[in-house]
Structures are given as structure tokens and as C-alpha cells.
Chains A and B, each alone.
Chain A
């Protein structure tokens, strides 16, 4: 019996665009245990959303195409399922919430109906049963006077409330896996904290796994037990949360950690210092022969430009895609 809930192996998703083939996801892999929260972090455009969407078969196609890999959910390869098989899993076993609560709800349908829909398709509940359960869930995600708001439309709710509706909608069928694609990015800070604690509460209540996508390491630190760092369509480092914060190996991970605004900075009365990682992400269309991060890496040396590094084992459960593992003496003292 495989203890893993979700395993992604060597997944490649390419976009066939007029200007060339963009390798948005290029051979990534990671897995997720039941009940675990995994953080997937990386800069904008590194392929986090595309990874998440491929799990549910929602990558826009054309231009997108899943070129290779396997996505095993409870030992079943989701990439092999037909449309109907995949549909039965969506919203029932695997749910997803999105970044933009403003545009992710249908503007012309009442929220009660939108929350009730998964119950009607997956659990074959009648309309009134589903509505009653939807009301209970809206109440559970702390929407005030939930029962009276079933007939409200999304435009009558604030951003935070809409994200609560999205969460209720994702939870109604008690999924085994929740994919949360930047669930708090569009919200302001106080609302962010509320949504995160709501997600923590629901997670322990339903004992579900969460794939939490974000570029905010602070959010990951609060929620996740393990982290996968992506860069330009690849996994560059993965490991336990604590290890990654205490002893990050990959220069990119180190850069990300340094670019986090620190609480201490603000307390000392200074403006928070944001150490940007210099340079920009390489184009996904041009072929890169060496390490993808070479152009921005402070430790870069000749091997990096010639050959792509593998994911080397660093420690227990920690791996990094960096030649410094082989050539430790090339690491320059950090500035």
C-alpha cells in the first residue's frame, strides 16, 4: 500500500505558442502524504499554477500540452483518465481554490447555488438538501448570517468574504486534497491571516492534504511542513520547512529567504529591506544548456554554464539542484 496521496513524476507541460515552445513545467516531481501540507514556492511565472492545473487536467489546451510524466493520485495516473473520470475526481477528491476571489466566482449566479453545485453532481443531493448543506458550510467558514446570504451575488460580498465562499465551495464534498493557488495574495494583510487560520482549522478538521502555492515564504512558514521551491519550470530545492529555513542549500532559496521582509527590521524603526535577487528569469522558450539559475547566481562557475545539475541529496529529505553539492569549495562567502 502506497502511503502517498499524490505523486508527481517527471511532469512536463509545454505551451505551443506562435513564438515558440514555452516549457512552463519541465520535468518536475514531488509527492504529498495524506494529511500533509506542502508549500510550493517560486517567483511569478515559474510554473506553479500550471503544475496545479495539470493535476486537475485544467491546463488550457491548446496552447498547453502535457508532454510527459505521471500524476498518481491514490496510485491512479490522472493523466491517463478520460474526461469523465477526471470530472468525477474534481471537486470531490481534489478541490482547488484560486488566487482571484473577484473573478473566480460566477457573477450572475447566487453564491448559494455555486456552493451547492458540487454536492448535487457528486453526492446526488437534491437541490434543497444541497442548499441546506451549502448554508451550513457558509456558516462554518464564518460568513455572517449565512442562511440569509444564499441568494446574494458575488458582487455583494467583499474580497475576503468571496474567498470564504470559494473555500466553502471547495470543502463541501470533503476532499482528500486541497490545492490552494495563492489563496491570500489578492487580500489585504488582516484578511489574509483570517483566511489562513480558517484553512488551518478546516485542514485539521477534515484531515486533508493541502498543496499550498504561494510566493510568500511567510505564508509557507505558517502553514506547511514541507516546501518545494520551483525555478523556471523545475524543482530546485525541496525539504522540510525547518531545514529549508535553517540551512537552505540552493543559492536561489537563499535569495528568496533574504528577500523576505523581516519582522526585526520593522521593529528597529527601519523600513523593511527587500533584497531583490538581481537579474530576471530566463525565457522559457530558449533552450538553456546549463543550470537555469546560472545567469543570476552569485556563485556561478564554469560547470554551471555547461551542464544542468541533478537534484542532489543534501540531507534527510532535503535535495537541491546545484553543482555546489559536488564542488563545495566554489561557494563564495555570502555577501
Chain B
């Protein structure tokens, strides 16, 4: 297990390095001069040159990359051009919304897809299974923003249980913040649960016809133990893979849902930053998003090994 972990960790670090170079290179070749954007079109060439030197823009590619990464590793990020504050703080603040939102959404997705997927597999081709499958089909076809709007109409406008949008902030109103995330997280979770339910069902169906499940039944185990103790763990791997992908995506921010619910998340931050040509913000967020995907994948790999002891050998 330790060796497997170390191997995966080394792969993770290499990947992160490659990701950072790629992100930097792509944004480096993009046209547009940050100094020009900051000072506006009336800036004198002298002031532009001074600012460029200040920002390190006169250095070579590798020099600029080293400058950027070095500062990031030291925990000092550049200033946002538009917000005039460190990018690090901007990301931290929006992550305080996006992080819990993503986790909550995956929690909803898991809480829906596992029971329903297992139920459908155990009652294959019976009425309950058909209902579940039709619902997942609907879920796959439903745009999440539309579903979010429906939820708002019902729970906020009609019933008045939730506010219709906005985010008070964790330090001001912790409970209110959680409540503000519930509806959007549910909208995101339900849509993602559709594919996960189908996956759980098909994976479970396959495992339930395995010889060792028959052995478990032949031992006289209760059906509950057979399904949850013996079959589920074997069926989980494909579900985990897709969950990892979904979580990585969600951590990158859900722009549309954030706009529907007026949440100051990462999606909105990067959307605005692109519009304002705020290069330092865009660069660090893109790096963060890519890193999030890589790190989540790493965690999925670890989870695999915990679930299936055979994996550590490969």
C-alpha cells in the first residue's frame, strides 16, 4: 500500500508540474499586454515599460514561469488587475462557495444514485426498475439551470423555504449560507445522479451474477449482507471513476447554476476575469481547475486501492 501510494504521489507531482507549464504556456502566447490593460490606452511608453519590469513581463518565458511558480509555491500570488487584491484571496473566497457546493452536490448525487441504482439492479425489468430508468432518462435530458429555476419557483417563490438566491457569507450567517447552497447543490446533484444511478445499476447487475455472490448466498448470508457486504464493493469502481470526473468538473465551478442562484463562486469569478482580461486571475484559476481534476483523480486511485486489494499489485 505504501509503495502504491508513493508511486501515485510521484505521478501526481509530475502531472501537476506538466499542467502548470501547459497552463502558463497557453496564456503566454495569448495576445494582449497586461500592462496596457492596467494603464489604459493613454499610457506613456515609459510608464508601460516600468510597469512591465515591475510585473516581470520583460523576462524570458522560463524566467516568467519560474517567477510565477516560485511565488505561488511561497503562497504569494499576483495582484488581480481588476480587483486590486491578491488572486489567492479571490480564489479562496469563491472556493468557500464552490467547494462546499461541489461536495454537497456530490453528496446528493451519491445519496440518490446508490440506493436507486442498487434497487433497480435487484428488481431488474420489474416495475420499480422501469420507473427508475425512466427517471434517469429524464434527468439526463434535463438542463440543470432549468431544473434549478424550477426548484427556486417551488421552494423559494411558492413555499418560501429558501431565499431565491445570493450568498450571505460563512462568517456572517453560517446556516443561511448552507441554506443558500442547498437548492443549487440539489439541482447539480440530481442531474449527476442520473448517470451515476445507471452506472450503479449496470455495474451491480454484473456483479450480482458473479460466482462469489452465489457463494455468499449459499453460505446462508442475509440478502442485505450479500448485496452491501459482498456485491457493492465490487461494483463501486466504475461509479467512483465517474464521480471523480464529476467532482473535478464541479470544483471548476458551475457557471450557469451560480448565475441562476447569484452565487459568488469560481465559475463567476473566472467568467468575469476573462471578460475583464484579468490575466493573473485567469491563469491562477485555470491552474487551480486543472490541479483540482488531477488531485481528485489521485484520490480516486487511492480509493480504488482501498476497495480492491488486487489493484496495489499491478
Contact = CB atoms under 8 A, between A and B. Distances in A.
A106 B212 contact: yes
B234 A108 contact: yes
A68 interface: no
Contacts of B215: 98, 104-106, 166, 169
A60 interface: yes
A109 interface: yes
A88 interface: yes
Nearest to A89: B220
Nearest to A102: B211
Nearest to A118: B219
Interface string B213-250: 01111111111010001100110000000000000000
B126 to A, nearest CB: 10
Contact of A106 (B209, B220, B223, B234): B234
A34 to B, nearest CB: 21
A108 B234 CA distance: 7
A58 B219 contact: no
B217 A121 contact: no
Which range holds the interface residue count of chain A?
20 to 34
A155 interface: yes
Interface in B246-292: none
Contacts of B233: 108-109
Contacts of B222: 87, 121
B303 to A, nearest CB: 13
Nearest to B233: A108
Contacts of B174: none
Given A153-B310, A155-B310, A105 B218 contact: no
B232 to A, nearest CB: 10
A177 to B, nearest CB: 12
A103 B206 CA distance: 13
A90 B217 contact: yes
B156 to A, nearest CB: 44
Interface string A83-115: 100011111100110101001111111000000
Contacts, number: 77
A192 B210 CA distance: 24
B218 A108 contact: no
B138 interface: no
Q: Which of B220, B223, B233 has most chain A Cβ within 10 Å?
A: B220
Interface residues of B, number: 24
Contacts of B27: none
A104 B212 contact: yes
Contact of B309 (A89, A98, A108, A121): A108
Contacts of B89: none
B307 interface: yes
A122 interface: yes
A56 interface: yes
Q: Which 7 A-B pairs have the closest CB atoms?
A: A91-B220, A90-B220, A91-B219, A103-B211, A106-B212, A104-B211, A96-B218
Given A87-B221, A91-B218, A92-B220, 20 more contacts: A56-B218, A87-B223, A89-B220, A90-B219, A96-B218, A103-B210, A103-B211, A104-B215, A106-B212, A106-B230, A106-B234, A107-B310, A108-B307, A108-B308, A109-B229, A117-B216, A117-B225, A118-B219, A122-B220, A155-B313
Interface of A: 56, 58, 60, 83, 87-92, 95-96, 98, 100, 103-109, 117-118, 121-122, 153, 155, 166, 169
30 contacts: A83-B223, A87-B222, A88-B220, A89-B220, A90-B219, A91-B218, A91-B220, A98-B211, A98-B214, A98-B215, A103-B211, A104-B212, A104-B214, A105-B212, A107-B234, A107-B308, A107-B309, A108-B233, A108-B234, A117-B216, A117-B219, A117-B221, A117-B225, A118-B219, A121-B219, A121-B225, A122-B220, A155-B309, A155-B313, A169-B219
